[in-house]
Amino acid sequence: MSQISRSQVEAALAGYTDPYLESDLLSAGCVRDIRIDGGRVEVDIHLDYPSEFLKGGIAQMLQTALENIDGCSAAAVNISWSVAENKSQNSVEAITQVKNIVAVASGKGGVGKSTTAVNLAIALAKDGAKVGLLDADIYGPSQGIMLGVEDGTRPETIDNKWFVPVEAHGLKSMSMAYLVTESTPMVWRGPMVAGALMQILTQTQWGELDYLIIDMPPGTGDIQLTLSQKFPVSGAVIVTTPQDIALADAKKGVEMFRKVNIPVLGMIENMSMHICSQCGHAEHIFGEDGAERLAETYNTTVLGSLPLSKYIREQSDAGTPVVAADDCSEVSMMYRHASRRLAVALARQAAAAQAMPSIEIADE
């Protein structure tokens, strides 16, 4: 029996293209080690995005490819993954133990931003990541309802100084809704709102988090500026709908983040189409490809497009978002694909930052 060559193993591995890396694992630099012992092959692979749900299936496909090599008697594929720390503003102090802060924002209200934020967060957690969710919409906090947290729930405190986040659906969550009653209006001026956000964010014991997802209030006001200036936000996701008026406001959101040096990781297009529940006919009632055109203009990408769905609305109102209710349903998989593309965008950004040489200028 002839010895299996490394080139044969690499050719077999190159036959699989990761749908999120959009590359084979060898070209993406994910293959850490190849060991060949006679007819036995063992491969170590490391992915830079949460892959707990995926790694078993990937390993099985690669193992089958390796076993098809002439002379291979046994093959094993070991897959690990990790999340790198990533902050876009090095001059801003990081939040202890939080690797990535992602702002989910929109230029206007009513585009499904909060629904997107909670489902992206749960999707990341389903893939094995440690995830927190901060409801920064001080004026209209809604994440408590969407997470099914009972009205009147209050976070525990440590030494009368630190909040303990409320856990729900695998997330650590914090919201102004946990600190006031459902009927209490937040009649606050901008500086008070910004101060409340800072207090909630910095005085919550988040613990170790791979991602802290922040559900931003709509618009481009004080909270957005405070967040970008005071905290190391890794990147932003812009949520929009296809119609021109929503896209015009989404442009303002993109421009705001660019001005404060926060990368826009991608866009989510909600209500991209309506599918008739009676006949299955799909119709773009709010327009078509609006987010795609906007993403192309700003050299970013569309992370996902979600339909106008009664099921999404019903599950959010019931306190069990679609990804928590059935993580393998068609609409849940749309959120899960989007969350993995988001994680890959962050990983690439972190890798690019590490590769960037540091330049020091000193007076002679």
Known binding-site positions: 107-114
- Closest by CA to 99, choosing from 333, 343, 273, 364, is 343
Q: What are the phi and psi torsion angles at 169 (to 5°)?
A: 55, 35
Q: For 180-239, where are the alpha helices, taking DSSP H only?
A: 190-202, 222-230
What single DSSP character describes residue 207? Answer: -
Q: Find out whether 158 and 205 touch, Cβ atoms under 8 Å.
A: yes
> Cα(110)–Cα(92) distance, rounded to whole angstroms?
32
Cβ-Cβ contacts under 8 Å for 142 (sequence gap 6 or more): 114, 135, 177
From the annotation, which residues make up the binding site for ATP? Answer: 107-114
Give the other-Cβ count within 10 Å of 277's Cβ. 9
Q: Which residue(s) pair with 197 in the sheet?
A: none
User: What amino acid is encoded at 45 in this protein?
Assistant: I
Structure tokens at 307: 């339909």
| Number of C-beta neighbours around residue 80 at 10 A | 11
Cβ–Cβ under 8 Å, residues 238 and 267: yes
Q: Are 290 and 243 in contact (CB under 8 A)?
A: yes
CA distance 121 to 324: 10
Scanning the structure block, which residue is given the tokens 């200028």?
361
Which residue is it, tokens 């327009």?
287
DSSP letters for 112-140: SHHHHHHHHHHHHHHTT--EEEEE--SSS
Number of H helices, E strands in the chain: 11, 17
* Cα–Cα distance for residue pair 163/153, rounded to 1 Å: 13
